[in-house]
Amino acid sequence: MAIAFILACIVLIAIIVVQIGRVSELSAKIRGEEEAEQAANRSSGRLMIPFVVVFLVLCVASAIYYKNWMLGFGPLESASAHGSAIDSIFNTTTFFTAIVFFATQILLFYFAYKYQQRPGRKALFLSHDNKLEVIWTIIPAVVMTFLVVGGLDAWNMIMADIPVENRSVLRPQGEDEFIEIEGTGYQFAWHLRYPGEDGVLGTKNYRKISALNPLGQDWNDDKNLDDFHPSEIVLPVGQQVRVRITSRDVLHNFYLPHFRVKMDAVPGLPTYFVFTPVKTTDEFRKGLKEYPEYNVPDPEDPEKMLWETFDYELACAELCGTGHYSMRRVVKIVEQNEYEEWLRGQSSYYFSSIRNSDEDPYKGEVLDLEKKERRLQFSDKLETVLAEPDSVQRIIQFDYVTFALGSAKLTDETTYELDFLVDAMKKYPSMIIQLAGHTDNTGDINMNVELSQARAQQVEAYLVEKGISETRLSSKGYGPARPIADNDTEEGRAKNRRTEFEILSK
């Protein structure tokens, strides 16, 4: 309504101005050219004053009217530790430039009114004036120095990198630890990368970029194996974050407006930014709730108020092409426990997309990380079985142990799983077990029994070699007698060929 009223006023004023022009044109015809020109000068000169008054009043009024939508004011105060320094530099600069702006506008229009052309009046030609030169050189120089030095001071504070002795981790605790994440811009999205458990981002090489490997991560670098690629930025409140910013094609700009973070993403030249978020998304929303501007339904989701659907965002602030607008990503600042929960839901890009593909340099090998994971699974299984009542048969199958084809020779690369059992036997010194070998139903039954017996014995020998007393061990070959799956399918037969152990007593 208010906007319609203002528009109507502007239209009316325009019509009035045009009408006055028409009237003066008509009177010019009547009074003659020269007199008409003087009259026009007089009326133009007089209009200068109301024009500048209305113009300046509108400037101030619109700034006040829209203040709650502007960064740095009202609800949009900065949400990062360094943000207030940027805001205060902006405000100081605005203060001085506003003085200059108002002074020049007022003088410009007032002079146009005061020194309007009149019959018999001549302009004064001023070729040089030392006093004036000094005034308009020294005052701006002093003000500029003040602003530039203040700005540089804030810039150096804001752009300070993290001291080398600080540690990059995934879960920072305190000031000397930080999270390093990476944002890579391309037409048209941000590809995000987090460091994984080791807290360190792995190395990259643009030559390694492929359809499978969008960032060109070098899989020979262990630090890459746990890195993950989330679809949104989630960070814990109050922790220092270093963002490594790169680009894969053209210039982009990594812009987090609410945190006053803005840095170019340059192809071939990684840039960085360090910031500490100090308000969670929820806290920021609660702040917005206090303002009537944000207590209206969200046009995109009318069930909710504008403050409820607010999210921090990552935008590209470089006009990088037609799809530029679609580079928006949501940024969530959460409490530490929520962050932990989110981390648990993330999985390593290497293990979910690269593992055992043609690009995997460790194809066919078992990685330490996998062994660690499998050890945890093994002890989970063991604890579950041990917790069962004695009436239940306690059988655990080896999932990874293999033998050479048709022989009882253990495959060296798979004996690590037997080491899990060695450690379990040491942890439970009174545990007695029986090792059992099983085959599928193909081939001669006697040979199968013999082979399964030999294999169980081989495992027993391995355990003895690792220091487990023979008195706690026995072994048996069942051949095809105890299938756990259908022997008619290859899949079923593979399941039936297995080695397991039974806990006879704990």
Which residues lie near Cu ion (CB under 5 A)?
A: 252, 316, 320, 327
CA 395 – CA 398 distance, rounded (Å): 10
Residue 500: name the closest of 445, 459, 441 by CA.
459
Residues 415, 418, 421: CA angle, nearest 5 degrees: 165
CB of 6 to Cu ion, least distance (A): 36
Residue 437: name the closest of 498, 358, 363 by CA.
498
CA 211 – CA 227 distance, rounded (Å): 17
Q: Which is nearer to Cu ion, 28 or 209 (CB)?
A: 209
CB of 255 to Cu ion, least distance (A): 10
Q: Are 346 and 192 in contact (CB under 8 A)?
A: no
Q: Which is nearer to Cu ion, 324 or 466 (CB)?
A: 324
Q: Which is nearer to Cu ion, 267 or 483 (CB)?
A: 267
CB of 243 to Cu ion, least distance (A): 15
The H-assigned helical ranges of 352-444 are 368-387, 416-427
Q: Which is nearer to Cu ion, 327 or 354 (CB)?
A: 327
Q: The tokens 């006093």 sit on which residue?
A: 131
Q: Which is nearer to Cu ion, 252 or 279 (CB)?
A: 252
CB of 251 to Cu ion, least distance (A): 8
Q: The tokens 């995997």 sit on which residue?
A: 360
Q: Which is nearer to Cu ion, 324 or 332 (CB)?
A: 324
Q: Are 401 and 499 in contact (CB under 8 A)?
A: yes
Q: Are 59 and 102 in contact (CB under 8 A)?
A: no
CA 504 – CA 418 distance, rounded (Å): 18
Q: Which is nearer to Cu ion, 218 or 249 (CB)?
A: 249
Instruction: Give, as one character, the DSSP assignment of residue 437.
Output: E
The H-assigned helical ranges of 252-335 are 281-289
CB of 320 to Cu ion, least distance (A): 3
CB of 179 to Cu ion, least distance (A): 24
CB of 242 to Cu ion, least distance (A): 21
